[in-house]
Amino acid sequence: MLHLVTAVIKPHKLDDVKEALKGVGVQGMTVSEVKGFGRQGGHTETYRGAEYTIDFVPKVKVEVVCGTEDAEKVADAIATAAQTGKIGDGKIWMTEVSRLARIRTGEMGTDAV
């Protein structure tokens, strides 16, 4: 049984999260640059005399596929490493993964983690 743990975190926390995941035995992850906002809303800036709002803030999305029994451990590791206590720390969620394969060798399921 496999799960996908997805987290949206602050960009500067990526190194800490990566180390924490290694610490719980995670050997791979996918990372992408994203933009987002939560409940805090945006703020206004002025550019050449004209006002504009900045809503979206740069974030990093981390995705890890792991065995279902490890999913809680992985999520906790991310949460602890990514937290700063300040607005914009991000969110973590999980979904089930119905199929996983390693492209190079053809291994399937938990062997492919």
Partner 1 sequence: MKRKLLIGAGLVGAALLLLANPAAAQEAEEVADPATQIVLDNIFVFVCGVLVFFMQAGFALVEAGLTRAKNVSNIMMKNLMDMAAGVLAFALVGYGIGFGGSELLGGWFGFGLGITGIEDPAQAAVLNLSPATFFFFQAAFAAAAATIVSGAMAERTKFKSYFIYSFALTALIYPIVLRWTWGGGWLAQLDIPFSDFAGSTIVHATGGWAALAGAMVLGPRLGKYGKDGKARAIPGHNVPFVVIGAIILFIGWFGFNPGSELGADNLVPQLAVKTLLAACAGAVVAMVVNWAKDGKPDVTMAANGLLAGLVSITAPVGAVETWAAIVIGGIGGGIVVLAVAFFDRARVDDPVGAISVHGVCGTWGTLSIAFFARYDDAFLGREDAGLFYGGGIDQLSTQALFVGVHFVFVFGAAFLLFQTIKATVGLRVTEEEELAGLDVEEHGHVGYALDSGGSSSLGTSSSSNKPVSV
Residues lying near partner 1 in the complex (CB under 8 A) are found at: 10-12, 14-15, 31, 33-35, 42, 45-47, 52-60, 86
Q: 42 near 70, Cβ under 8 Å? A: no
Whole-number Å distance between alpha carbons of 8 and 90: 5
C-alpha separations of 112 from 9, 46, 54, 91 in Å: 26, 50, 41, 26
Judged by beta carbon, residue 10 or residue 113, the one nearer partner 1 is 10
Judged by beta carbon, residue 30 or residue 68, the one nearer partner 1 is 30
Judged by beta carbon, residue 43 or residue 99, the one nearer partner 1 is 43
Report the nearest approach of partner 1 to the CB of residue 46 (Å). Answer: 5
Report the nearest approach of partner 1 to the CB of residue 88 (Å). Answer: 9
Judged by beta carbon, residue 81 or residue 113, the one nearer partner 1 is 81
Report the nearest approach of partner 1 to the CB of residue 34 (Å). Answer: 6
Pairing relationship of beta strands 90-97 and 30-36 according to DSSP bridges: unpaired
CB atoms within 10 A of CB 79: 17
